[in-house]
């Protein structure tokens, strides 16, 4: 399993209120949530994002509320993987549970810039910055996490 796309870059402490503001939480519809993804810090994100793109943040990405709507909005917007220095724990758990790939990699978080073309090999944890011709090493997923992400979420993976 792999990802390859262009990068949308953000700073430290990207919180779930900016990922999907609570004023849109009166729905659980994935497409509608995705249509407001990131709008309070990057109002053009939904126009710019293409399927397979990669999101990169700094420390404590996804802090704040436990709303699963946040990783759902990111995933449905087309993002194939979120890379950050560190993740807030509820977001980390929710992202894996709904099948959104996420990687902790401080070096990648620091070096990668907006617009870079980045490829990820989830089996080895190697992140390749094609634009800058650099590689960064993240901890690869254990098999059971890969299985959850490939199955499109925890509950789907349990059905098998």
Whole-angstrom distance, CA of residue 58 vs CA of residue 26: 29
CB of 40 to another protein, least distance (A): 4
Q: Is 41 in the site for another protein (CB under 8 A)?
A: yes
* Count, residues near another protein per rule CB under 8 A: 38
Could you tell me which of 109, 139, 130, 125 has the C-alpha nearest to residue 9? 109
Q: Is 11 in the site for another protein (CB under 8 A)?
A: no
Could you tell me which of 147, 153, 128 has the C-alpha nearest to residue 138? 128
Q: Is 17 in the site for another protein (CB under 8 A)?
A: yes
The tokens describing 97, both together, are 């549970």
Distance of alpha carbon 139 from its chain centroid, rounded? 16
Rank residues 21 and 125 by Cβ distance to another protein and give the closer one: 21
Of 45, 53, 60, 84, which one interacts with another protein (CB under 8 A)? 60
DSSP state of 153: S
Whole-angstrom distance, CA of residue 118 vs CA of residue 130: 6
Whole-angstrom distance, CA of residue 1 vs CA of residue 15: 28
- Integer Rg of the chain from CA: 14
Determine the interface stretch with another protein among 45-53, 59-67, 73-81, 122-130 (rule: CB under 8 A). 59-67
Q: Is 47 in the site for another protein (CB under 8 A)?
A: no
Determine the interface stretch with another protein among 16-24, 105-113, 117-125, 129-137 (rule: CB under 8 A). 16-24
Q: Is 109 in the site for another protein (CB under 8 A)?
A: no
What is the contact surface with another protein in residues (CB under 8 A)? 13, 15, 17-18, 21-23, 25-28, 40-41, 59-60, 63-69, 71-72, 86, 88-90, 93-94, 97-98, 153-156, 158-159
């Amino acid at each position: 399993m792999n990802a390859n796309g262009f990068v949308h870059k953000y700073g430290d402490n990207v919180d779930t209120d900016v990922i999907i503001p609570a004023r849109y939480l009166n729905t659980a519809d994935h497409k509608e949530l995705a249509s407001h993804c990131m709008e309070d810090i990057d109002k053009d994100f939904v126009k710019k994002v293409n399927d397979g793109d990669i999101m990169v943040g700094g420390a404590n990405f996804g802090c704040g509320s436990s709303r699963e709507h946040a990783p759902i909005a990111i995933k449905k917007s087309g993002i194939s993987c979120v890379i950050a220095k560190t993740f807030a724990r509820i977001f980390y758990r929710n992202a894996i549970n709904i099948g959104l790939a996420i990687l902790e990699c401080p070096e990648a978080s620091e070096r990668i810039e907006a617009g870079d073309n980045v490829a990820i090999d989830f089996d080895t944890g190697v992140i390749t910055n094609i634009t800058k011709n650099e590689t960064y090493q993240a901890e690869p997923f254990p098999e059971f996490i890969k299985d959850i992400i490939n199955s499109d979420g925890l509950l789907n993976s349990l059905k098998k």
